[in-house]
Amino acid sequence: MERLAEQGLTSAEVTERISRGQVNEVRRRSSRSLSAIVRANVLTLFNAVIAVLWILIMIFGEWQDGLFGLVIVANSAIGIVQELRAKRTLDQLAVVNEAPVRVRRDDANAEIPPRKIVLGDLVLIGPGDQLPVDGEVQDAGNLEVDESLLTGEADPIHKRPGDQVLSGSFVVAGTGSYVATEVGGNAYAARLAEEASRFHLSHSELRDGITKFIKYITWLVVPIGALLIWSQVGKIGDFGQAITGAVAGIVTMIPEGLILMTSIAFAVGVIRLGKRRCLVQELPAIEVLARVDVLCLDKTGTLTSGGMSLGEVRTLRDDLPVHEALGALAHLDPNPNPTARAVQSQYAAPSGWTATVQVPFSSARKWSGAEFAGRGAWLLGAADVLLSPGSAAYAEAEERAATGLRVLALVRVASLRNLATPGDSAALAAPGDPDDPDGHSATPDDLDYPGYPGDLGPVEAAAIVVLKQRIRPEAAGALRYFAEQGVTIKVISGDNPESVSAIATSLDIPGGKHSVDARALPENDPGKLAEIMDTTTVFGRVTPHQKRLFVGALQARGHTVAMTGDGVNDVLALKDADLGVAMGSGSGATRAVAQVVLMDDDFTSLPSVVAEGRRVLANIERVSSLFLTKTFYALILSLLTGVIGLAFPFTPRHSTLVNALTIGVPAFFLALAPSHERARPGFVPRVLRLAIPAGVICAIAVYLSYWIAQTGTSTLEENRTSAVIALFITTWWVLVLIARPYTWWRIGLVGAMAALFALALALPPTREFFALAPGDLSNDLIAIGISAVASAALTVVFKTVRSPDISQGHNGSTDTLKP
């Protein structure tokens, strides 16, 4: 173990472990294998049914009626290609997003991808790092690990040499190293991920809704299909014609393109977001994007740029070594946070300042500190935490914070050593401290000033430290977008409330002038907390634990909450939010738990992310109405045919032609159209309220046209042509209604579909191929008249079941589908 601490594994040992398969190879949560994609698009229940029906047509019918089989092949191929494109995009971004891991090998530090860790590697960790594998702590310097994502334990755990650590936990303070004892699929987080099976649309109303549709349709197709087959075979003398009619009815009942369009819409959404350098790590995030109505923003790194610069050091005591103390504190941590880096840029590490006790910074404490041999104990942190309320220094700090600056205080206290807990080996004492050979020192739980247990003695205010933060220039435009879209903004920060309020006001965030100090919030009264969250916009001095409570309080009020963040203090809230959005430059733990990562830290891409989710969901709902209208008119026609005993009104080639022109081709374009309307619950009932009556009306019009035609002297082919004309007109009108509101390309789309059908009727080659015989003018005119009446009825149904403001999207956008 001692050798590991000094050298780590050798190259030969690493090679040996790789050859034995003892390497951290795990499946990325954002991707799935080629075989899984092929199975999902090919080996489906509907494809199996259609394959059997296609074989029956090839045996007993004419090959032209088997055209629907080629459509299924094309659908599966398109689905596979789109998902592979999405997989490639996700995998490329996932590699970029992977936080490199620092390991010790061959007596030198190195950075490697997490998947290159081998069993026995010495992994080096610091604040914000997520632990990639399980292991045993080798060295700990004030090391605090948060395991709440795995165990639910809310408080950070102090780790000492010999303690076990689990993959998936993350470092909140301190530094250390540990030896990897479990890697790959044996690691704790990997086992959890495998059980959770993250790559699918779990907890998705959209996928649940489509699953319900399939279940209901399966229940109906089996008995009605059996009735149709019995009717056609038993009452039609020609067995080939009977099979052809039965297959036409059953194939039309199946909404095979609905699943395809859903897959394509999600895949294209992933690709579009990938081009904007947005990594979607969980596909359900696409749907959640559409439902977000509250966006919680962390000020630092989101509204402001991640870095800071040292603006001013206002010395309050000329007799104290302010500048040396600042330099000494800033250079203590080998993994400095942005505040320490800002101070380091102006102050070098002074000589003669040797730390004997260190307390690392944490978002819960709001300060860090150290005791230096012969120099006293110094703390650097939030001014309103370290300074006494009512003092002149406190008032000055508050005044500066009100302008939007970040204000810290440097204070000196008598000692940190008087908080020592005998027998504790938390390693908070600096290494080699001659006055504390046993490592007796304070644990961070003991340090709670002001209001922390323990006596730090008199506090001497030494200086006010002012840090400048740059507001992201693109933030204002993005925030205006969310306001226009009805998304409520909540600014949640660990900074001074007045400073946060000043920045919110400068960005014209509604309610930004009023801020709340989170230290005064009723954490033990969820109802009161939820009420305050609903009515307040800006919150300051928020701890990581409170951020998590805030998300839960908003969700309890029925909100769909998105949370942005970049620091380790945001991890718990990001995980609990309906949608966690991390900045690409954020900590490894933050990026690991977020569903969406903005790789370029570009806040302006967030509106695009939300808009993409809304486009996907609204358009899937739109095309679902088309596909299910087809399903329901086929069910009604099959039922009528089975009971009355006539030949089915059309053949498979007829349904292939009509479905392609009124559903398949238009749905592909409609599924990819822009939309800005926030999605809302009730996907299944909204679609059924449209599809069921529309399907019934279309079926009645088709069957009535067919029944009237067959009472005369016309041939079966002519009768079916009249039915096909009625079928096309009614389903085309459904397309016209669903495609509203009209834009130039939508008008062109529906017009082109009508023109193509007219050409199919007019041109002899297509008439022959699709078995169209418009030879009985009176029957065809009757079919057109019945279809016109049916179209009027469809218009009434659509106006009744759809909101009057169907065409009134935000910002003039009309690509919306409301209940």
Whether residue 282 contacts residue 621, with contact meaning beta carbons closer than 8 Å, is answered with no
Say what the pLDDT of residue 554 is.
92
Give the strand order in the sheet containing 459-471: 304-315, 459-471, 406-413, 376-382, 367-372, 355-359
pLDDT > 50? residue 434: no
Q: Which amino acid is at 460?
A: E
Say how many C-beta atoms besides its own lie within 10 A of residue 131's C-beta: 28
Residue 422 CA, chain-centre distance (Å), reads 48
Q: Residue 693 — very low, low, confident or very high, per pLDDT cuts 50/70/90?
A: very high
pLDDT at position 788:
96
pLDDT digits (tens, 9 = 90+) for 530-554: 888 988 999 988 887 888 899 999 9
pLDDT category of residue 453 using cuts at 50, 70 and 90 = very low
- Provide the sign of the torsion angle of the four alpha carbons 316, 317, 318, 321, taken in this order: negative
Classified as helix, coil or strand, 786 is helix
The residues carrying an active-site annotation are: 298
Q: Given this model, what pLDDT does residue 515 score?
A: 87
Give residue 237's pLDDT. Answer: 59
Q: What gap in Å lies between CA 485 and CA 487, rounded to an integer?
A: 6
Q: Which residues contact 727 (CB under 8 A, 6 or more apart)?
A: 633, 649, 650, 654, 658, 698, 702
User: Once rounded to an integer, what is the mean pLDDT over residues 697-721?
Assistant: 90
**Which parts of 645-743 fold into alpha helices (H)?**
652-659, 665-671, 683-710, 716-738
* Residue in the structure block whose two tokens are 């300060």: 367
Task: Please give the structure tokens belonging to residue 400.
Answer: 């500066």
Tokens of 213: 């549709």
Q: Of 156-165, 412-421, 734-743, where does mean pLDDT reach its minimum?
A: 412-421
Q: Is the dihedral of CA 152, 99, 565, 577 positive or negative?
A: negative
Which has the higher per-residue pLDDT, 352 or 240? 352
From the list 199, 32, 192, 29, the residue with the least C-alpha distance to 114 is 29
Label residues 472-506 b or e (16+ Cβ within 10 Å = b). beebbebbebbeebebbbbbbbbbbbbbbbbbbbe
The top-scoring range by mean pLDDT among 48-62, 750-764, 799-813 is 750-764
Name which of 613-617, 719-723, 728-732, 752-756 the model is least confident about: 613-617
Tell me the three-class secondary structure of 369-414, residue by residue: EEEECCCEEEEEEEHHHHCCCCCHHHHHHHHHHCCCCEEEEEEEEC
pLDDT at 784: 94
pTM value > 0.85? no
Cα distances from 611 to residues 163, 285, 478, in angstroms, run 46, 12, 12
Q: Choose the weakest-confidence range: 239-248, 449-458, 537-546, 656-665.
A: 449-458
Residue 6: pLDDT band (50, 70, 90) is: low
Distance of alpha carbon 800 from alpha carbon 491, whole angstroms: 41
pLDDT bracket for residue 323 (50, 70, 90): very high
**pLDDT tens-digit readout, 373-425:** 888 899 998 888 888 888 888 999 888 888 878 899 999 988 776 544 333 33
CA distances to 35, 82, 83, 664, 749 from 38, rounded to whole Å, are 5, 11, 9, 21, 31
Whether residue 74 contacts residue 93, with contact meaning beta carbons closer than 8 Å, is answered with: no
175 close to 125: Cβ distance less than 8 angstroms:
yes
Spatial strand order in the sheet of 538-540: 278-280, 596-598, 579-583, 561-565, 294-297, 488-492, 538-540, 515-517
| Of 296, 302, 295, 298, the residue nearest 472 (C-alpha) | 302
Please say if the pLDDT value at position 442 is more than 50: no
Find where tokens 């709340």 sit.
516
CA dist 41 and 36 (Å) reads 9
Q: Which residue has the tokens 């096909």?
A: 724
CA distance 679 to 615: 9
Answer for the pair 530, 294: CB distance below 8 angstroms, yes or no. Answer: no
pLDDT of residue 194 exceeding 60, the answer is no
Provide the pLDDT confidence category of residue 328 given band limits of 50, 70 and 90.
very high
In this model, does residue 361 exceed pLDDT 90?
no
| DSSP structure class, residue 660 | I
Secondary element (H or E) of residue 555: helix 544-556
Statement: residue 238 has pLDDT above 70: no
